[in-house]
Structure 1
Amino acid sequence: MRRSLNRTGITRRLGLAATALTTTALTTTALVTAALVTAPAPAARAATEWTARPAPPTIGSSALLAVAAAAPGAVLAGGYQFKRPNDRWCWGLRCPPPALFNPTLQRWDGTAWSWLGTPGMPDLGQILHLDAVSLDDLWATGTRYIECCGDGAAYVAHLTGTASTELQAPAGLSHIAALDADEQGAWLAGTANSQVNGSPVYRWKGTWAPYSLPASISGLRERTPDDVWAVGTDADGAPYAARYDGSSWRTATPPQPAGMQGRLLSVLPLGPDDVWATGYTTAGGQRADRSYHWDGTAWQEAPAPDGARFGDALTDDGAGGLWATVNAGALTGTSDLLHYTDGAWHREAAVSGSGASVTALACVPGTGTVWAVGARDNAPLVLSTG
């Protein structure tokens, strides 16, 4: 959710220099993009200072997987707690998987954390995505946990100043990968449930309305109700992006070489001519992580530092740049983050030492403060800039 942002084009501020540019026009059926241009990498700069914040109280082995902010005194964090061995036995064997956990969802008011309920899911589950429209308009998604079988049905909740309600998740989604909310409702996106001929994108306005896109969606963000972006991978396994103009979706994928495979993981629309997407491509078994910027006319590219992999979270830094989490491959996460500033991505460590994992990011609207959450030594980790 980025309705409070009022920014000029990030390209001018960050100095992305186009050395070749081909301009095309929008049509009624597709958004034809221009040639990608790789920006030169400037010298490195001093790392950002991150400050440890009080972590929300949890029970036992815990981790935070999602964060959202409506204001400096209204920050949400969610994840799981009380991760413990599964002692249930099935037909003489211990039931897989080997652990159970309960959800945690809490709010920071500027002084202390307070518990928020997870209506309909009092135990055995986790919170994976959050969005905060305002102090009294909060959305959460996650998954239930089935003691015998692992992840169960998707979970969706809407928490307001007057009621906290579980909403039935769309049956047409087999997996929820993205949540974004506004004053009118919320968007959900992920993988379509082929068993019921489902769709990868749904919009809530009292009921779930499906939108059929030829892709599996990894990230979705709304700038305004008539400017919504979704990214993922198409039916051929290639990177995919689409833009919603209030009435229909149109393809808006950064141009890729023929036969290129890959996935766009996250998208961040900051203005009609200021949109970022991060992800990766694969060729010959080799992965190359990439970010793309849409300036209203063409896509430009800024590659990730050597060896760095983009994670699922992407946010602005409140000062003309971007923050992204790092995917550590087989690991659950890393305390390193990617920071886009001065025209290039830089890898920075948010905390020193080992055993820490940063999984989610949120910029407080109207400020330069960014919150990061994750886990350290099996306990919640909360950090912020500024």
Structure 2
Amino acid sequence: MSRRLSRRALPLCVLLTGVLTGGFLRATSAAHAHVDPARPQAADRSPSALLQQSATARLKADASLSDVAGLSPNDIWAVGQEDVWEAWQNRSVITHWDGSAWTEIGIRNDASGAGHLRSVAAPSSHEIWAVGDGHDGLPYVVRGDGSAFDRVSVPQFGSTDWLGGVAAVPGRTVAVGSRGKHPLIATADSAGWSVTEGEENGTLYGVALTRKGDQGWAVGDDGTRPVIMRFDGDTWDTVPAPSIDGGFLRDVAVDGPKKAVAVGGVYRDGEKVAPLVLTWNGKRWSRAGLPARHAELYGVAGDGKGRFWASGYDPEHAGQAFLLRSSGSAWRVVRGRSAPAPRTMRLQAVTHVGDLTLAVGHVVDADERYTDAVERFRPYTSKGGSADGTPRPPTSPAQR
């Protein structure tokens, strides 16, 4: 899964513009582990009520998490960057949750280092991929085995190339982005790397593959309307998308050949953005009705049973976590707790494993300091606790 902000100028999101040079990366293969205290509370009181837990991966100053991929509730990978304001010296972040603590993992044998890692994919516990910017001015691809990471050389990449998303299954890895003004798709399989450039204008931000890797979707926009490309097992081709002026897509999730969801937004009324969800039924893409008027959606994940979660930002409740969840065709809003001080929270990506939904992003305070954010949601059991046995704490009514 993959989730990115637009390369357009969005409020408080300068960290997501492409940083192409500068700085050095820590060479440690495994850094400090951070225990995450459990302080859950109720996210709502509906029949399918959720237990919410707000936390952080405790990264260094001015940090943000851009993407997350989960294999199990105790095996989750997230990527992003630290020192987001240091345009020439920002540093990549790769961190792992083992069920009790977050541990940062470094990249070996690479003096230039990565700046901002935007997307991560984990087809297995011993194969993890991430993509983003290199400090040498080239796109950055890294692969890890769970204990260490190394940069992967892709000879076909050049200085005009940019990567925004990655998806992987055993035997196939796909990274997407742009080459100049055109969509870019890079694929690695047993034959090595191949790079495809789309004929039409556009940038791709998100990509997803079916479990077998024989079909897939990539999404983005051309600056004015959504762009959707489809993989049929052999080639990637642009397919018709609903014509939505000002529309953009940032992520896509697949649940078999007849079910997929893409998320993003629609610019309207100047700088206001309406949330956008497109659904695939096996024949066509169509726009879903949503309960929120103004919001930006960045990430989406499914549970393999037809249910999906989307993460993002709601400017009318800027200090609270904001997600949408669906069961069938209906979407509902899920909000986090209110903040005691002014802040802005953006959840840039989401994953769902077991009964756990985990979203990551960042919080920006009144002094424009960034702190990475981790939001967890789990269903209550009929006995008043979470599905993993966590007792129900004192709660406040749902915020909707």
| TM-score above 0.5 | yes
Matched, 1:325 2:299: no
Matched, 1:160 2:149: no
One-letter identity of the residue aligned with 1:209: S
Matched, 1:304 2:290: yes
Query: SS of the residue aligned with 1:200?
Result: strand
Q: What are structure 2's unaligned runs of at least 5 residues?
A: 3-45, 379-400
- Pick one of 175, 193, 207 that aligns with 1:208: 193
Q: Cα distance 1:177–1:225, how it changes in 2: closer, same or farther (>3 A)?
A: same
**2: CA distance between counterparts of 1:60 and 1:218?**
26
Query: SS of the residue aligned with 1:256?
Result: coil
1:126, distance to aligned residue in structure 2 (A): 2.7
Structure-2 residue corresponding to 1:10: none
1:180, distance to aligned residue in structure 2 (A): 0.6
Matched, 1:69 2:70: yes
One-letter identity of the residue aligned with 2:126: D
Tell which deviates more after alignment, 373-382 or 69-78: 373-382
5 Å-filtered alignment, 1:56-95, equals 56-82=57-83
Query: SS of the residue aligned with 2:253?
Result: strand
Query: SS of the residue aligned with 2:119?
Result: strand
**2: CA distance between counterparts of 1:266 and 1:325?**
10
1:83, distance to aligned residue in structure 2 (A): 5.4
One-letter identity of the residue aligned with 1:313: G
**1: CA distance between counterparts of 2:141 and 2:346?**
25
Q: Cα distance 1:165–1:301, how it changes in 2: closer, same or farther (>3 A)?
A: same
Structure-1 residue corresponding to 2:115: 125
**1: CA distance between counterparts of 2:141 and 2:318?**
24
Contact 1:137 1:161 in 2 (8 A): yes
Q: Cα distance 1:185–1:46, how it changes in 2: closer, same or farther (>3 A)?
A: closer
**2: CA distance between counterparts of 1:188 and 1:325?**
21
1:207, distance to aligned residue in structure 2 (A): 3.4
Query: SS of the residue aligned with 1:220?
Result: strand
Structure-1 residue corresponding to 2:213: 225
Contact 2:320 2:338 in 1 (8 A): no
One-letter identity of the residue aligned with 2:63: S
Q: Cα distance 1:167–1:368, how it changes in 2: closer, same or farther (>3 A)?
A: same
Q: Cα distance 1:250–1:47, how it changes in 2: closer, same or farther (>3 A)?
A: same
5 Å-filtered alignment, 1:1-386, equals 48-53=50-55, 55-82=56-83, 97=87, 100-119=89-108, 120=110, 125-145=115-135, 152-160=137-145, 164-169=149-154, 170-171=157-158, 174-193=161-180, 200-205=184-189, 207-213=192-198, 214=200, 215-223=202-210, 224-234=212-222, 237-256=224-243, 260-281=245-266, 288-317=274-303, 320-327=306-313, 335-341=321-327, 343-353=329-339, 354-355=342-343, 356-364=345-353, 367-376=354-363, 378-386=370-378
**2: CA distance between counterparts of 1:153 and 1:103?**
14
Query: SS of the residue aligned with 2:138?
Result: strand
TM-score (norm 1): 0.71
Please say which structure displays the higher CA radius of gyration: 1
Q: What are structure 1's unaligned runs of at least 5 residues?
A: 3-43, 87-96, 147-151
* Cα-to-partner distance string for 1:340-367 (whole Å, 9 max, x where unaligned): 2463333321343153432221112xx1
1:319, distance to aligned residue in structure 2 (A): 6.1
One-letter identity of the residue aligned with 2:162: H
One-letter identity of the residue aligned with 1:275: A
Query: SS of the residue aligned with 2:50?
Result: coil
* Cα-to-partner distance string for 1:116-158 (whole Å, 9 max, x where unaligned): 1123267672322111111110111222458xxxxx4322101
Corresponding pairs, count: 319
**2: CA distance between counterparts of 1:165 and 1:67?**
19
One-letter identity of the residue aligned with 1:102: R
1:230, distance to aligned residue in structure 2 (A): 1.2
Q: Cα distance 1:132–1:173, how it changes in 2: closer, same or farther (>3 A)?
A: farther
**Identity over aligned residues, as a percent?**
23
1:265, distance to aligned residue in structure 2 (A): 2.5
**2: CA distance between counterparts of 1:332 and 1:209?**
42
Q: Cα distance 1:132–1:190, how it changes in 2: closer, same or farther (>3 A)?
A: same
Q: Cα distance 1:212–1:334, how it changes in 2: closer, same or farther (>3 A)?
A: farther
Q: Cα distance 1:122–1:211, how it changes in 2: closer, same or farther (>3 A)?
A: closer
Q: Cα distance 1:45–1:163, how it changes in 2: closer, same or farther (>3 A)?
A: closer
**2: CA distance between counterparts of 1:161 and 1:324?**
27
Query: SS of the residue aligned with 1:374?
Result: strand
Contact 1:172 1:199 in 2 (8 A): no
Q: CA RMSD in A?
A: 3.4
**1: CA distance between counterparts of 2:235 and 2:213?**
12
**2: CA distance between counterparts of 1:218 and 1:250?**
16
**2: CA distance between counterparts of 1:370 and 1:175?**
29
**1: CA distance between counterparts of 2:243 and 2:329?**
22
1:269, distance to aligned residue in structure 2 (A): 1.4
TM-score (norm 2): 0.68
